[in-house]
Structure 1
Amino acid sequence: MKQIIQDLKNGETILEEIPVPTPKTGSVLIKTKKSLVSLGTERMLVEFGKANFISKARQQPDKVKMVMDKVKTDGLKPTMDAVFNKLNQPLPLGYCNVGEVAAIGKGVTEFNVGDRVASNGNHAEYVNIPKNLVAKIPDNVTDEEAAFTVIGSIGLQGIRLLDPTFGETIVVVGLGLIGLVTAELLLANGCNVIGFDFDPEKVRIANEKGIVAINPGEGTNQVKFVESYTNGTGADGVIITASNKSNEIIAQSAQMCRKRGRVILVGVIGLNISRSDFYEKEISFQVSCSYGPGRYDEEYEQKGNDYPIGYVRWTEKRNFEAILNAISKGTLKVKPLITERISLRDFQKIYGDMGNSKSIASILEYDNTEEPVSTVGIINKSFEGKKGVIGIIGAGNFTSSTILPNLKKLNAEVKYIASSGGLSSTIMAKRHSIANSTSNYKEILDDGDVDLVFITTKHNMHAPMVLEALKANKGVFVEKPLALTEEELESIISEYNNQNVNVSVGFNRRFAPLAKRMKKALGSDDTPMNIVATMNAGFIPADVWVHDMEVGGGRIIGEACHYIDLCTYFTGSKVIAVCMNALGINPEENTDNTSILLRYENGSNAVINYFANGSKAYSKERVEIYSQERTLIMDNWRKMKSYGFKGEKNSSSKQDKGHFNQFQELIEQQQKGGHAIIPFDEIVNTTKASFAAIESLKLNKWIEVK
């Protein structure tokens, strides 16, 4: 299928050929018929993509600070690699989609195949959308009209925040697509509506709809006009739908309001607010968030958990339905807003010169008659008879930034890369010369050429996919963690014992050059040691999926396991007991500020400090080892100092966390055979120790690891 994307690195807008998405649980797969180009929003993305690096940096000063902090801790090259990797990830364009339900994911009961629906899907021939972002289209509403659903909901949400009453005078600043729809909805609410825009055509359309529309470019003073129109009272409220960097808009909006008026920002403007403009009249100001309640809430959007209507009357989906109802009843007339109708294959007629476009609403038309496919060939390459042929499931940031660059250095044979949406896997396949991009990971498991599967999905998918790969008799590399529950782990152990393949987990730290050097210096005897390992992990907001115990498993199971494995590697022993204490008076099981105590079979002790409340300017990782009146200190995988070791010198190097070495050993083992690169019993022990840490916090005691 084809999809429009924006390349952030070179600024090109591209029609990309990608696999059809796989319907996810709680989602519907939609075959697109029409989509609406939101010129304001999409123009900003296109212009951002075309801007040079300096301009991009000026637009995102907060990101620049993060980059500088990373340079201080990780060095220039790793930081620049991360920045360019981010810019290499294109943006899908569009969010006003209309089509027909082609398939339904698990847990979806309110839609049927063949239903006509509107959604916030991208400009793509097929889109996979969570059910709470999809609404059925009334029979008397055309596809073209329904394409305005999401745009209309943005305006409607601004109105709901303003909460106008019948007879109030409301000003709409900016009569673009959202502004015109907002103004018409305000008329339907019984409001007197004044609109301002510098485009004569938009002013003409607004006047025809009964809006008092003015072009300030013709000499009208906006504030004075509103004062005159309201007999000196001022507007009851202002909704700003304009897109402009000037601070003048917010100042004028306050000045044209009556005492205790309201200002709602829907668009994007300069926000250097003068206190006096708002103070003297006690004017309230609020920013509207997209389509309504539920936006950016993973529980609502991705998991499909609706808000009770008695408590949240207008969610984003109910706003969609309200707009469709308004169009159906003729309250909202959107057809006059359509400027042009363009075939998808002619998309450059819209995107080629967006900066000078005078279009109000451009409709993309789809003629997707080709049979949908879940795998797209990128390059022709034979894998017959080769060993160590890889299929990668998951095309997220870690795959892009770490796995693929290292596999490319190793000239690894990669036949597939899979992502559920198909876009990210296709982009990565092209960039790294991977033979196939697929949205159906089962094709990897069914392919006899593939004998090694990399799994880099969200944590809750690790164990099920490991089991599937083992049953398909494939070797497995899975990014940590191996599993989130004891039950999952036991299932993997059982299946592993029935197969003759290896399982490896992404515990890369033990393969780092400094870790190997430290291990060699410590020697191979069984003398107990003390280890203090600190991970200055950094803050992650509570609503990010890694904190979700069912999806991410929390940061102890999901990330701190790295250092449990590293301590096991240094001690040459296994964990027999764990005790964990967390920051706070009543810490819960889901914590990321904690100290973990590990007791080993050979008498060694380790303390892992996993902290999320430290400065990002400080080193992210540090290890101290004390043994036989000797001390080793590793700082952020760049420096090592030794004390009391004969012949061992201090060293420093570029940051290397061991990924390259791990993948090199893994591929060689797959090709030539031999022992697993990490003993499976150690992987199991580390996983159980991470579970024990959480259990210790719950029960406030030491937990034995069996």
Structure 2
Amino acid sequence: MKQILQSFKTGITELAELPSPKVKSGQVLIKTTRSLVSLGTERMLVEFGKASLIQKARQQPDKVKMVLDKIKTEGLMPTIETVFNKLEQPLPLGYCNVGEVFAVGNGVTDFKVGDRVASNGQHAEFVSVPQNLVAHIPDNISDEEAAFTVIGSIGLQGIRLVNPTMGETVVVIGLGLIGLLTAEMLVANGCKVIGYDLDDTKVEIAKSKGVIAFNPLKGNDPVKFVNSHTNNVGADAVLITASAKTNDIISQAAHMSRKRGRIVLVGVIGLDISRADFYEKELSFQVSCSYGPGRYDDDYEFKGMDYPLPFVRWTEKRNFETILQLISTGKLDVKGLISEVIPLEEYDKIYGDIGNSKSIASIIKYNENNTPEHTIIVNKKENAPTKGGIGIIGAGNFTKMTMLPALKGTNANIKHIVSSGGVNGTALAQKHNIAQSTTDYDLVLDDKDVDLVMITTRHNLHADMVINALEKGKHVFVEKPLALNNEELVAIEESYSKNNGTLMIGFNRRFSPHTQKIKSLVGNAPMNIVATMNAGAIPPEVWVHDMAIGGGRIIGEACHYLDLMVFLSGSKIKAVCMNALGENPAENTDNASILVKMENGSTGVVNYFANGAKSYAKEHLEVFSQEKVLIMDNFIKTSGYGVKGFSKLKTKLDKGHKAQFGQIVEKIKQGSVELIPYEELINVTKASFAAIQSLKEGSWVTID
């Protein structure tokens, strides 16, 4: 299928050939007929992509600080590589999609194949969208009109926050597409609407819709104009739908408001607010979030959990339905706002000079005879080796930033890469000479040329994918964790025992030269190990904290150091006891300490903390044994004390990924990926589960 993408590295907007997405559970697959270009938002993204690195940095000072912190802890070159890898990832454009339901996922009850729908899907021939972000289109609305659904909802949510009453005066600053739609809805609501913009064409359109509109460049001072039309009382409310970097707009909004007036920001402006402006009038100010309640809430958007209507009357989906109702009844006239309807293949007529575009609304028209193709050939390989074929499932940050760069130069024979939407997988296939990009996970499992399946998806998918791959006779590498609970682990063990495939978990740190050096110096003698991970805070809403999806950070990441203790001590884990920070430690698993007993008498402590400074080194390891002390600092430096013939090892940051993947590529050619004994993989996984159990029970837990 074809999809419009924006590169932040080159600044190029392209019409890319991608595999079509497969419908997901709780979602509908939509065959697109029309999509609307949000000129304001998309112009901003395109211009950011075209900006130089210095200009990008100036626009995102918070990101610059993160980069500087990373340089301090990991070094210059690894940081530069990370930044450029981030910039290389293309961004799909668009969020105003109209089409026909092509397929429905499990659990979807509100839609059927053939329904005409509006959604926040992208500029792509096929999109898979969660059901709470899709709305039915009334029969009397054309596809072009329905394309205004989502962008209209942005204005509608701003209106709901302003909460205007009939007869109030509301000012709309910025009469672009969202501003014009907002102003017309306010007029329909019985408000006196004043609007202004620097574009005469937009001002005239607003006037035709009953708005008292003007252009400040023609001699009208905005504050004086509003006061003169309100008997010097001021506006009851101000809605800012403009996009500008200046702080003048927020100042004007304050000065034109009456006492205790309301100001709502829908657009993007400078926000250097004068306290005096707001203090003297007791003004209220609020920023509107996109389409309405539910936005950026994974429970609502991706898990399909609707907010109860009596308590949250207007969700983003119900806002979509409201816009469609207004268009259907004629209260919102959008036909006159359409500047052009352009075939998808001629997309550059819109994006080629988007910075100077005078269009109000540009509509993209799609070919109605398209059918989904879930796999595309990216690189033809005439003489590809027949042994050691690899299929990668998952094209997220780990695959992009760590695994594929580590596989570079290993002669890995990667035939497929699978991504859910096709965008990430195709970009990585192009960069790393992978033969095919696909959204069809089963294709990889059924391909006889694939010997090794490498799984890097979200954690909740690992267990089923491992089992499915083993049952297809594949060898499996899975990025940690192997499973999220004992039930999943038991199922994996049963499948492993019945099939011939081997298994490897991404416990890369034991392959680091620093770890290898420590191991060579202490052998298997009893030892004490103290490991500290300054992991850094992750916002609570991020999926890794969801025990059903991410499993939490102990199971998902602290397992690395449980494995290190097994490797360094030469012994499996016998028992663990975990305690965590705070009055309710069971709710704070990313600030915890785990005491570890090994079968050979060695002991260890894993400190996993998320409340430290990111400018401090992320990982620290201390080993005490046989009157020796070895200290590893962030996989860059290892120092020895009391160790004859060794004082220091220093490298660039090396957590063992390159060595691990290099050995996997060689091993798979021999029909195995078992670099770590299977029993150790299971022991470490059980120990991570036991740590969570220990925290809940407040006692030591023995590993079976």
**How far did 1:675 drift?**
7.7
Q: TM-score, normalised by structure 1?
A: 0.99
**In structure 1, the residue corresponding to 2:226 is in which secondary structure?**
helix
Partners of 2:402 and 2:552 lie apart in 1 by 22
**In structure 1, the residue corresponding to 2:450 is in which secondary structure?**
coil
2:160 corresponds to 1:177: no
CA deviation digits over 1:620-657, x for unaligned, max 9? 00000000111100000000000111111312110100
Equivalent position of 1:364 in the other structure: 364
Q: What amino acid sits opposite 2:665 in the alignment?
A: I
Change beyond 3 A, Cα 1:475–1:675 = closer
Equivalent position of 1:130 in the other structure: 130
**How far did 1:255 drift?**
0.4
**What pairs up with 1:105-504 in 2 under 5 angstroms?**
105-382=105-382, 386-504=386-504
Partners of 1:242 and 1:269 within 8 A in 2: yes
Equivalent position of 2:678 in the other structure: 680
CA deviation digits over 1:171-219, x for unaligned, max 9? 0000000000000000011000001011111011111111111011111
**What pairs up with 1:493-572 in 2 under 5 angstroms?**
493-523=493-523, 525=524, 527-572=525-570
**How far did 1:383 drift?**
6.5
**How far did 1:384 drift?**
6.3
Partners of 1:34 and 1:364 within 8 A in 2: yes
**How far did 1:380 drift?**
1.2
CA deviation digits over 1:238-265, x for unaligned, max 9? 0000001111000000100111101100
Equivalent position of 2:60 in the other structure: 60
Partners of 1:560 and 1:382 lie apart in 2 by 43
Of 350-359 and 667-676, deviating more is 667-676
Partners of 2:619 and 2:634 within 8 A in 1: yes
**How far did 1:386 drift?**
2.1
Partners of 2:536 and 2:612 within 8 A in 1: yes
List structure 1 runs of 4+ shifted beyond 6 angstroms: none
Partners of 1:554 and 1:590 within 8 A in 2: no
**In structure 2, the residue corresponding to 1:135 is in which secondary structure?**
strand
Change beyond 3 A, Cα 1:154–1:674 = closer
Partners of 1:445 and 1:469 within 8 A in 2: yes
CA deviation digits over 1:4-34, x for unaligned, max 9? 0000001000000001101111111000000
**In structure 1, the residue corresponding to 2:281 is in which secondary structure?**
coil
Partners of 2:28 and 2:128 within 8 A in 1: yes
Partners of 1:589 and 1:338 lie apart in 2 by 52
2:632 corresponds to 1:629: no
Partners of 1:190 and 1:68 lie apart in 2 by 53
Q: What amino acid sits opposite 2:165 in the alignment?
A: T
CA deviation digits over 1:369-403, x for unaligned, max 9? 23321000011114666221110000001100111
Partners of 1:117 and 1:600 lie apart in 2 by 59
Superposition RMSD in Å = 0.9
Partners of 1:108 and 1:409 lie apart in 2 by 45
Equivalent position of 1:13 in the other structure: 13
Q: What amino acid sits opposite 1:505 in the alignment?
A: I
Equivalent position of 1:38 in the other structure: 38
**How far did 1:516 drift?**
0.6
Partners of 1:221 and 1:543 lie apart in 2 by 45
Q: What amino acid sits opposite 1:692 in the alignment?
A: A
Equivalent position of 1:645 in the other structure: 643
2:652 corresponds to 1:654: yes
**In structure 2, the residue corresponding to 1:313 is in which secondary structure?**
coil
Q: TM-score, normalised by structure 2?
A: 0.99
Equivalent position of 2:688 in the other structure: 690
Partners of 1:385 and 1:449 within 8 A in 2: no
Partners of 1:93 and 1:122 within 8 A in 2: yes
Partners of 2:229 and 2:597 lie apart in 1 by 79
Partners of 2:622 and 2:265 lie apart in 1 by 52
Q: Which runs of 5+ in 2 are unaligned?
A: none
2:29 corresponds to 1:29: yes
Of 663-672 and 74-83, deviating more is 663-672
2:589 corresponds to 1:591: yes
CA deviation digits over 1:381-428, x for unaligned, max 9? 146662211100000011001111121221211000000111110111
Equivalent position of 1:704 in the other structure: 702
Partners of 2:701 and 2:672 lie apart in 1 by 34
Partners of 1:618 and 1:372 lie apart in 2 by 48
Of 359-368 and 175-184, deviating more is 359-368
Partners of 2:464 and 2:394 lie apart in 1 by 14
Partners of 1:383 and 1:449 within 8 A in 2: no
Equivalent position of 1:618 in the other structure: 616
Partners of 1:154 and 1:411 lie apart in 2 by 50
Partners of 1:308 and 1:385 lie apart in 2 by 57
Partners of 2:642 and 2:71 lie apart in 1 by 32
**How far did 1:2 drift?**
0.2
Q: What amino acid sits opposite 1:58 in the alignment?
A: R
**In structure 2, the residue corresponding to 1:194 is in which secondary structure?**
strand
**In structure 1, the residue corresponding to 2:362 is in which secondary structure?**
strand
CA deviation digits over 1:141-166, x for unaligned, max 9? 11111000001100000000000000
2:67 corresponds to 1:72: no
**How far did 1:91 drift?**
0.7
Equivalenced residues, count:
704
Partners of 2:627 and 2:642 within 8 A in 1: yes
Partners of 2:410 and 2:665 within 8 A in 1: no
Partners of 1:353 and 1:632 lie apart in 2 by 60
Q: What amino acid sits opposite 1:562 in the alignment?
A: H
Partners of 1:411 and 1:219 lie apart in 2 by 69
Partners of 1:563 and 1:376 lie apart in 2 by 40
Partners of 2:22 and 2:486 lie apart in 1 by 29
CA deviation digits over 1:21-71, x for unaligned, max 9? 011111110000000000000000000000000000001000000000000
Query: Identity over aligned residues, as a percent?
Result: 64
Partners of 1:289 and 1:54 lie apart in 2 by 29
Q: What amino acid sits opposite 2:182 in the alignment?
A: T
**In structure 2, the residue corresponding to 1:400 is in which secondary structure?**
helix
**What pairs up with 1:92-107 in 2 under 5 angstroms?**
92-107=92-107
Q: What amino acid sits opposite 1:356 in the alignment?
A: N
Partners of 1:383 and 1:31 lie apart in 2 by 37
**How far did 1:497 drift?**
1.1
CA deviation digits over 1:519-552, x for unaligned, max 9? 11112x4x21000000000000000000000000
Equivalent position of 1:663 in the other structure: 661
